Chain A
Amino acid sequence: MAFQPQPARPSPQPTSGFGFWLRQNIFNSPLNSIISLLMIILISWSLFNLVTWIVAESDWQIVWNNQRLLAVFQYPSDLLWRPMTCIIIIMSLFGLNAGVSNEGIGHIIRRAFYWILGLIVIIAIVALVYWESVRLYWVIAALLPIVFFFIGNAIPQIAKFLSWGWVLLWFVCTFILVGFGGGHGHESTSPMRYVNPNLWGGMLLSFFLSITGIVLCFPIGIGLALGRESKLPIIRTICTGYIEILRGSPLVSWLFLASVMLPLAINATPAGIIRAQVAIILFAAAYMAENVRGGLQALPKGQGEAAHALGLSPWDTTSIIILPQALRAVIPAIVGLFIGLFKDTSLVLIVGLVDIFAMLNQIANQPDATLVAGGILKELFIFGSLFYWFFCYRMSIASRQLEKQLGLGTR
């Protein structure tokens, strides 16, 4: 008799589909079923309330009416083309950078570019309809980066100039924002006249403080971490002391100290934004140093030894072998620090600077808001939270992609 395989029988119970998933995860025991039901009721109830509020009660007029204050605070209204120009050139370089490569890190940059460009396109459409004075700039900010994207795509050789481009960009943007000449006393109508940094605020200030902080705390932190691991006792002591002292007090106290003590120490009173910026950078650098040190210690000793044995110079050993490996080991911690730093810039309201959160606070205290029954707070702070959430979430995504990307080599 020929061999007859036993016919396959269907499983007595479904092993896939929504019903199966529900039974496995939500209603897998009597107690869990009760908890699940309670949670579903609770969540539906809050969602219902929230949606009712958004549809029927919320009034976003106050955010809309104060849009310019939220964006740039008291930056002169005839000079708005200057921050707009900064957005245009930053986005153009971003586009160029994103266009150059779609491999590895390039892919991550490109994805981030799409997100930010998408945001700007939405704003540009709003600008086309409502904002006559800056309409043109927003449209350029949405279109020019796309042109540069394709330029970068066509000439990938420019990749090696990009990092210098970003460094140069910081100086160019700062110069455009600050301007020159004019002085304080007399009126000037020059388009490039000096704008007192005390007039900066809102999102402009939040972005400036956090981007500059992130960019500058990075190299200082690396230097401190290497210094703390140094063989020379003097350098080691100085770096350790610096890190422990800076980490020992909250950022708020350093912001105060920078506002009050820095003028005493250097016998001059730089603008409040500079004092706050210095405090933020130095504070973040201490945390950065500890993160990087964690990466340095995670590295096997043999890596440095192999580099020495091959005759690589100490500089090459550090910059090609040690740091790239140490940094990739602590990317989540570093991005976490950046996200924290971005949000912590809201503390500058303590020393009288008006970043977006301080601005929201001020608006909430305006008669417009306080004269409404109960005051208008929810819409303002929901808007502020969304602003922070969007950029922090985007940084999180980039961090996850970066981890995945850099993991390739070690696996």
Chain B
Amino acid sequence: MTTTFPEGLVTAFAPDGGEKIVTIDRLNKWYGDFHVLKDINLSVNKGEVVVVIGPSGSGKSTLIRCINRLEEHQEGKIVVDGTHLTDDVRNIDKVRRSTGMVFQSFNLFPHLTVMDNITLAPIRVKGMKKSEAEERAMYFLEKVKIPEQAQKFPGQLSGGQQQRVAIARSLTMQPEVMLFDEPTSALDPEVIGEVLEVMVDLAKEGMTMIVVTHEMGFAREVGDRVILMDEGEIVEVGTPEHFFTNPQEDRTKDFLSKIL
């Protein structure tokens, strides 16, 4: 990186040498007059697991929703898998094809069976044959350990099962990077574990992941880097070890003291 940044600005660039999947350069976003994201600099290497933590309203969700253009940004540059995210619809399509997203509220399509939920995008977007799509769907359903639920409707499943279906649905599109937007926040405590387990497996297999979460255990065990956001800024970046044993910033210490 040859660009110079204003003094005091925290940047979260991945270590050089890796293949950059996501690069965010001085990203700014406003909701009306409200400045939600302030000069965000972040890059993610292939295979890296980046965990974003921070108090609610700090802009974490907005940040990852900008990466697949569910939110529009006003300033700055986002490059995903070599594609510059602009107003161009073709670029947006390309970026969405290389990203998968898992939402807090699952957002499965309640009028379609689990199988149809998963095969819809491969068939309609990638033009895959139905039989091939179903075969692949079964593969990923087995991966999230609920192949027996394929013919049920989402409403018949528990929250944890629904979220695992949502993960399988994203994986079936074979994205380069998975975005997780508080995937366990809407779950009953006793089923959080089964979703985290799937995510840990995924990370071990080398999937690139950006995870917004309040699960510090997950951050500590699986994260390659942890980012703390507050008031729309990146406050501190570091390895989990650095974060949980030796945080530098007061805001980090304050946040961690509240949740640990």
Contact = CB atoms under 8 A, between A and B. Distances in A.
B145 to A, nearest CB: 22
Interface in A104-121: none
Given A309-B68, A310-B125, A321 B109 contact: yes
A300 B105 CA distance: 10
Contacts of B146: none
A302 B105 contact: yes
A409 B173 contact: no
A325 B107 contact: no
Interface of A: 300, 302-303, 305-313, 316, 320-321, 324-325, 328, 406, 408-411
Contacts of B258: none
Interface stretch (B40-48, B80-88, B93-101, B240-248): B93-101
A305 B166 CA distance: 13
Contacts of A313: 124-125
Given A409-B153, A409-B155, A311 B96 contact: yes
A307 B108 CA distance: 9
28 contacts: A302-B107, A303-B107, A305-B103, A305-B107, A306-B108, A306-B109, A307-B109, A308-B70, A309-B68, A309-B100, A309-B101, A309-B103, A310-B100, A310-B125, A310-B170, A311-B173, A312-B124, A313-B124, A316-B124, A320-B120, A324-B111, A325-B109, A325-B111, A409-B111, A409-B113, A409-B153, A410-B111, A411-B156
Interface in B144-182: 153, 155-156, 166, 169-170, 173
Given A316-B124, A409-B155, A309 B96 contact: yes
A411 B105 contact: no
A360 B186 CA distance: 62
B121 interface: yes
Given A408-B153, A411-B155, A311 B107 contact: no
A406 B111 CA distance: 8
A303 B69 CA distance: 15
B110 interface: yes
B103 A311 contact: no
Contacts of B97: 311
B110 A409 contact: yes
Interface of B: 68-70, 93, 96-97, 99-101, 103, 105, 107-113, 120-121, 124-125, 153, 155-156, 166, 169-170, 173
Q: Is the interface of A mostly helix, strand, loop or mixed?
A: helix
B68 to A, nearest CB: 6
A306 B153 contact: no
A303 to B, nearest CB: 6
A233 B99 CA distance: 31
A310 B173 contact: yes
Contacts of B107: 300, 302-303, 305-306
Contact of A312 (B101, B110, B120, B153): B120
B187 to A, nearest CB: 16
Contacts of A302: 103, 105, 107
B170 A409 contact: no
A411 B121 CA distance: 23
A312 B155 CA distance: 22
Instruction: Count chain B CB atoms within 10 A of each CB in A309, A325, A410 and give the residue with the most.
Output: A309
B99 A410 contact: no
A305 to B, nearest CB: 5
A311 B153 contact: no
A306 B69 CA distance: 12
